Amino acid sequence: MEAAEPVLEAKETEERTPQENPSPCLLERHLRSKPLMRQVRIQLTPVQLSSDGEGERKRHLAQKRLLEQFSNSEMCSSDEPTAKKVCDHHALGSQNSEEAAFRGESPGRAPVASEDSSSSDSEDPENVGKDYEDGSPELSAYERKRLKNITENARFFASLKMFETAARLREITTKGRSCERKRVRPPKSEPATACRRSMRLQRVDPTGLPLPEPQAQPEPVEEHPRLPPGLLPMVPADQEQGAERTKGFLEMWAKISQVEPKEEERITCTLESYQSSLRRMVLSRDSVAKVVRDRIYSVAVHPSESKTLVAAGDKWGQIGLWDLECGSEDGIHTFVTHSRPVSCIGFSPSNPAQLFSLSHDGTIRCGDVTRATFEEVYRNEEQSLSSFDFLASDASTLLVGMWDGIVAVVDRRTPETSSELSADLDSLTRTVHVHPVNRHYFVIAGARNVGIYDVRHLKMRGNKPVVSLAGHTKSVASAYFSPVTGNRVLTTCADDTLRIFGTKCLSSLAPALTTIRHNNNTGRWLTRFRAVWDPKREDCFVVGSMSRPRRIEAFRANGEMLQAFLSEDHLGSICSINAWHPSRYILAGGNSSGRLHVFKE
């Protein structure tokens, strides 16, 4: 049974010819040293072997002849006719010697034609190798064809003169190279340039004389300096409005403060009539005005039944009062009473002619319209105040909260501007609010904690709350008792939740009655929301809203939304701080640009 054996086959252009299979290592080394000018493709073809091993012997001899042909190809590049003959004779002679060696005979000289015939054969390429083809009857037709192809390949490689061309290219490239090293120039040493200074910096005049020493510049004046202690005259910040106009405003304020507010509607008003009154409250063009210069931190509504007077405190200590009946041009009066944010403001419950204001600058002032002055009630330059509330119904004593957790009791009847009692609650205090019935109780809102304390048991250190309102996961902005009975506490927390706790029994934990999801994420450029009760109702409150269109939302204690106060034409901003009229259906909301929006029935 004959087996197929792979043999190298060379293909030039489109003609396939059997080719010898030289040793791969020697051929690769030869090709690296002698680059060829033309690419030859080698292809493997199967060869049939005879049963007596004759095919194996012929394949071995063909491989050696092809290897010798490539190794001696330089000898065939000088003279083309002569090179063809030498290559042919060398290839055929090698074949005969190898065949003889394979058969065990002594290697003899390869059969070569006579001198005349050699010269004639060298002139005719077709006759080269012809005697071998015809005079070797022991070779098969395939072997004779293979030997003919080897001869033709040798002639072709000799005609290309690749080795001569490679030698010429090497000579050209070596001649063009310069053996000289490039001189490395040392870097230039740049001369140090002298720093030129102007005559002004040298402090000499054009004539060369030294200039006089400059005088010490005064320290820059603070934009919002701390105001001096004591009385401040009730003089508007806008001096252009005139004394007569200010005098008329103060007289109007004193006149409307003599009438006591009605309180019957708090009890007789039903939920249906209350809700219908809320629907009738609208915002007109004349009810919007810029009252103070900067962001509003606090709002209060005068309890008058005949006039609508709204007060607002801004970021830099201004207090603006707006008489809505006089319009936005003649009805606004602004006073500078503090140097820092006015975070809490309110009319006296017993004498509305007095307006109390608290600021972060550590002072509380009382604006008395009858005296046309702002009297200093309390001063603490070491602490920053946060809020206050009236501890007594006649406003004779105040409960003051500070940012670092200290609560102070201030008695206005003493001549000093200091506190009568100071207690550390060990908690941040943002708001303080007194119980409307049992006025010795008060609630504070701070960092994640809301607690109810008894002012009768306060001491310097180690104060514990009577009741703790738990459940807040972030800081609490405000906490207020319900206005009539104080049986509920409304809190506004930064965890986007409004909570209502039951405080009817203050001897145990206050349960959470209602939880309302509400977006309280106002950011740093808006005043934080503070949900406040409506003084006319025990179970209704209002709070600012981040929703669009902009609005103020009114809720019931069970979480039901009663009314959304909005106006697409006149309300385009967020009203963070809101305040109710004690007896009338008037709601005032302040935004971060110093503008008030007043909804009226």
Between CA 450 and CA 469 the distance in angstroms is 5
pLDDT at site 59: 63
pLDDT at 206: 80
The number of angstroms, rounded, from the C-alpha of 561 to the middle of its chain's C-alpha atoms is: 36
Same domain, 482 and 575: yes
Do 426 and 543 lie in one domain? The reply is: yes
Q: Give the domain-ending residue among 168, 194, 210.
A: 168
Question: What is the helix (H) or strand (E) element at residue 169, kind and residue range?
Answer: helix 162-176
Q: Has residue 179 been placed in a domain?
A: no
Look at residues 139, 168, 197 and tell me which one is the last residue of a structural domain. Answer: 168
Domain identity same for 150 and 261: no
Distance CA 544, CA 531 (A): 7
Spatial contact of 322 and 335, defined as CB atoms under 8 Å apart = no
Task: Report yes or no on 355 lying in a domain.
Answer: yes
Assess whether 236 and 147 both reside in one domain.
no
Q: Does residue 157 share a domain with residue 10?
A: yes
Q: Choose the final residue of a domain: 168, 193, 219.
A: 168
> Which stretches of 72-129 are DSSP H helices?
80-103, 115-123
**pLDDT given for residue 430 in this prediction:** 95
Handedness of CA 100, 101, 105, 107 (dihedral sign): positive
Query: 414 lies in a domain?
Result: yes
| Residue from 369, 286, 377 nearest 323 by CA | 286
Residues 474 and 341 in one domain: yes
Q: What token pair was written down for 355?
A: 């307006």
Q: How many domains does the chain have?
A: 2
The predicted pLDDT at position 199 comes to 79
Co-location of 239 and 335 in the same domain: yes
Residue type at 132 in one-letter notation: Y
Q: Which residues contact 286 (CB under 8 A, 6 or more apart)?
A: 324, 327, 328
Q: What is the pLDDT of residue 320?
A: 96
Domain of 58, in residue numbers: 4-168
Q: What is the pLDDT of residue 405?
A: 93
Between strands 551-556 and 561-566, the pairing is antiparallel
**List of the chain residues with pLDDT < 50:** 1-31, 33-38, 40, 42-45, 47-52, 74-135, 261, 263-265, 267
On whether residue 487 sits in a domain, the answer given is yes
Looking at the structure, tell me whether residues 144 and 39 fall in a common domain. Answer: yes
Domain assignment present for residue 213? The answer is no
Give the neighbor-by-neighbor strand order of the sheet with 232-233: 232-233, 373-379, 363-368, 354-359, 342-347
CATH number at residue 342: 2.130.10.10
Indicate the pTM of the whole model.
Answer: 0.65
Q: How, if at all, do strands 577-580 and 561-566 pair? A: unpaired
